[in-house]
A and B are shown apart, each in its own frame.
Chain A
């Protein structure tokens, strides 16, 4: 079913790309950062038919006649926001444009991000203008399992135009964020233990469902009734089968430990989200070999994040724990953060430049499983580039152009 949806969306994408304007472009950069290779002084990136066709020193890459050429001081791969809610959480913040969380039940992994994504949302354009080309977006933290996430390019008029991975992860939450607040009509989960019990019970149920389905597929015992198809359990079965990761938002040290404990019990692929107190558990996280989508450094330091530190990205890097930057969820102003700005604050607090750039590109692509398409300037990858007039992390530099699939989608100076 999931594969079917992907196929259908890919077909739509194909139509979109055929009708798009010419996807050939060349960018000359005083400094080009391929990320997976050494920085290139006076470099050129050539994009043909939406894909990177060549990258190298200006004197070694021939730009074919007729291909539009753009100049920039700094060229990086298009940036990736590794965890967001844009497109679901609208910028007006009115009840009818907030689709990032559904409060009716604590566990709803069947909620698809593709069914709630508004490709024309203003914040997507805002992010695009800063060089962000790919966003992992979807359901927000705030319920034990709030729903699915997806991966989009920051372009297109419809979800079909934008999506590159319709089902990326299932979003779960541990800690205060998963506990119901008074007055929302539900009693559970009222505390941490109950939340985890509910999560485990659902995973146990999904395991039984998957086993039954598995037997049925083998076509063995004909007397057994095949289980009725259950969208909720389908989604969790995909997690248990290792097809998609469970993305667990956990900020406090005890909640991070719980995430690891549940992961060990069920053996799914875990991606840690937020992790404000990761700096207290560096050795444990490293030993568990779990990647981290670190909270925005400028997220507010209160509640579950009261012990957060601007230095966590630098510490994760030092321990060589895989991590990437995210904008996260904001309930007020700013309605979205900008990962470029967030990585800059990590740089200010000790994260090396190259690692910060990797955290916005290839490391994010690796964690999201899209490294074959995006995240670096390499031949064959998507022609997604971000252009700056100086050090991208410097407050006073500007984003001066964004290219997606070989098409310049932003010319703003921002």
Chain B
């Protein structure tokens, strides 16, 4: 294939993507068009505003048309009014790190696999999607494991009901599938060659790859559209150029204080946008994280250890990070913690001293910011997607249940529905075929 034809193909592909995206967008608009519904009487926690003790949430065409105190929101004629008095409505939860859907990225052949896309691995019928909806999760970042330094392109997914991963995928403004890049340092990616054996080697391999991407980008720039001067296409480097150009966020698995700082150092060198994930020892380097203005996607698990880099995991990080001014989101790391119990993560953070306001934000808007979707989701505000959860009570009480989950104005989970309840509580056959067992038993043995 000549370079010219390659370039033409690239143009054609971009055009095709745009057309496909446009078709999708139209389809979505049509399917999302629904009646106008007014949810009245609930305690509403908009996240971006103070909680409303008795409020009305007005939903139209899959968007939030209005939210406010009862009486202050005019309910249009013809709208269906649903009395949800006694419940609590919060924004649809956003999970910034999950492995539902049998996700996979790079294999054991190389420590860096930026060319792999989890998009190409997802089983849309995996019960994990149902479990997530049962937990009030409406948007999720699906990622490969941490057994590689760079395990592939992640995907941001809206948990509307659909038969294809394409119909669930968030899109960027230019129509691309939205997602970041999963990276890892520390112990999980230390293996026999060609994998690195030390931390320094790990960092070196990553730096070399980014240097290559810089040169690749320079060549493309110098070609200035001249097909003869364009470098051969390289799928991996293309993805890395997106990172360098700020179009793809790095989601970095990292636990130990020095590994966290190494992740910050690499980001400083190459100037990409970074989210730190897990960060078991975040409380030890909170000031450094805050100074770098890098957000954190935190997990709290029920005991320390399980591996060396998590030996100092504790319950102290949420309040320490909050005080330091770090933007904190939470994640399930499902199967590490179950999506059905995601609210519990916020509650545990409150237990350890985080404010309730920040804890609910960490489950919603902070994660939306982490996924750069905060213009669309993460809070209950006019014109945002009508993604919300109806709870039986206080979001952080053990006695509270998720009653309903709504995505774009459509109910995707209802505890009163027997099938949905079976998923929410577990029942014989409810979760078959079981989801990520192969991932869990695979090369990474559940590396989170």
Are B302 and A341 interface neighbours, CB within 8 A? yes
- Interface presence of A209 (CB below 8 A): no
CB of B284, distance to nearest CB on chain A (Å): 17
CB neighbours of A280 from chain B (8 A): 428
CB of A351, distance to nearest CB on chain B (Å): 11
Are B428 and A279 interface neighbours, CB within 8 A? yes
Contact pattern, B 398-424, Cβ under 8 Å of A = 1, otherwise 0 = 111100000000000000000000000
- How many angstroms from the CA of A337 to the CA of B305 in the assembled complex? 11
Are A301 and B351 interface neighbours, CB within 8 A? no
- Interface presence of B69 (CB below 8 A): no
- Interface presence of A243 (CB below 8 A): no
CB neighbours of B304 from chain A (8 A): 91, 122-123, 126, 334-335
CB neighbours of B446 from chain A (8 A): 332
CB neighbours of B292 from chain A (8 A): none
CB neighbours of A398 from chain B (8 A): 351
CB neighbours of B272 from chain A (8 A): none
Are A307 and B426 interface neighbours, CB within 8 A? yes
Are A397 and B351 interface neighbours, CB within 8 A? yes
- How many angstroms from the CA of A267 to the CA of B396 in the assembled complex? 47
- Interface presence of A93 (CB below 8 A): yes
CB neighbours of B434 from chain A (8 A): 301-303, 306
- Interface presence of A317 (CB below 8 A): no
- Interface presence of B193 (CB below 8 A): no
CB neighbours of B303 from chain A (8 A): 91, 123, 126, 333-338
- How many angstroms from the CA of A334 to the CA of B333 in the assembled complex? 12
Tell me which of B337, B341, B432, B448 contacts A306 (CB under 8 A). B432
Are B310 and A333 interface neighbours, CB within 8 A? yes
Are A301 and B431 interface neighbours, CB within 8 A? yes
- Interface presence of B160 (CB below 8 A): no
- How many angstroms from the CA of A235 to the CA of B311 in the assembled complex? 36
CB neighbours of B425 from chain A (8 A): 309-311, 349
CB of A182, distance to nearest CB on chain B (Å): 12
Tell me which of B302, B396, B448 contacts A337 (CB under 8 A). B302
- How many angstroms from the CA of A330 to the CA of B337 in the assembled complex? 13
Are B336 and A395 interface neighbours, CB within 8 A? no
- Interface presence of A320 (CB below 8 A): no
Are B338 and A298 interface neighbours, CB within 8 A? yes
- Interface presence of A94 (CB below 8 A): yes
Contact pattern, B 295-313, Cβ under 8 Å of A = 1, otherwise 0 = 0000001111111101101
Are B397 and A334 interface neighbours, CB within 8 A? no
Knowing A94-B308, A126-B304, say if A348 contacts B445 (CB, 8 Å): no
Tell me which of B308, B310, B335 contacts A300 (CB under 8 A). B335
- Interface presence of B344 (CB below 8 A): yes
- Interface presence of B437 (CB below 8 A): yes
* CB contact list, A281-320 vs B, under 8 A: 298, 300-303, 306-311
- How many angstroms from the CA of A277 to the CA of B436 in the assembled complex? 20
Tell me which of A92, A300, A348 contacts B398 (CB under 8 A). A348
**Considering only CB atoms, which chain B residue lies closest to A86 in the complex?**
B303
Chain B, interface residues (CB within 8 Å), range: 35 or more
CB neighbours of A309 from chain B (8 A): 425-427
CB neighbours of B398 from chain A (8 A): 344-345, 347-348, 393-395
- How many angstroms from the CA of A395 to the CA of B351 in the assembled complex? 7
Tell me which of B302, B351, B396, B399 contacts A347 (CB under 8 A). B399
CB neighbours of A92 from chain B (8 A): 305, 307-308, 311
Are A333 and B448 interface neighbours, CB within 8 A? yes
Are A307 and B429 interface neighbours, CB within 8 A? yes
- How many angstroms from the CA of A231 to the CA of B281 in the assembled complex? 46
- Interface presence of A414 (CB below 8 A): yes
- Interface presence of A396 (CB below 8 A): yes
**Considering only CB atoms, which chain B residue lies closest to A342 in the complex?**
B302
Residue in A94, A126, A302, A303 whose Cβ sees the most chain B Cβ within 10 Å: A302
* CB contact list, B375-401 vs A, under 8 A: 396-401
Tell me which of A300, A303, A311 contacts B338 (CB under 8 A). A300
Are B336 and A333 interface neighbours, CB within 8 A? yes
Contact pattern, A 232-267, Cβ under 8 Å of B = 1, otherwise 0 = 000000000000000000000000000000000000
- How many angstroms from the CA of A277 to the CA of B310 in the assembled complex? 32
* CB contact list, A77-123 vs B, under 8 A: 90-94, 122-123
A-B residue pairs in contact (CB < 8 Å), sample of 22: A91-B305, A92-B305, A93-B305, A123-B303, A123-B305, A298-B337, A298-B341, A332-B445, A332-B446, A334-B301, A334-B302, A334-B304, A335-B303, A336-B303, A341-B302, A345-B398, A347-B399, A348-B400, A348-B401, A349-B425, A395-B348, A396-B347
Q: Which residues on B are within 8 Å of A, measured CB to CB?
A: 301-308, 310-311, 313, 315, 335-338, 341, 344, 347-348, 350-351, 396-401, 425-432, 434-437, 440, 445-446, 448
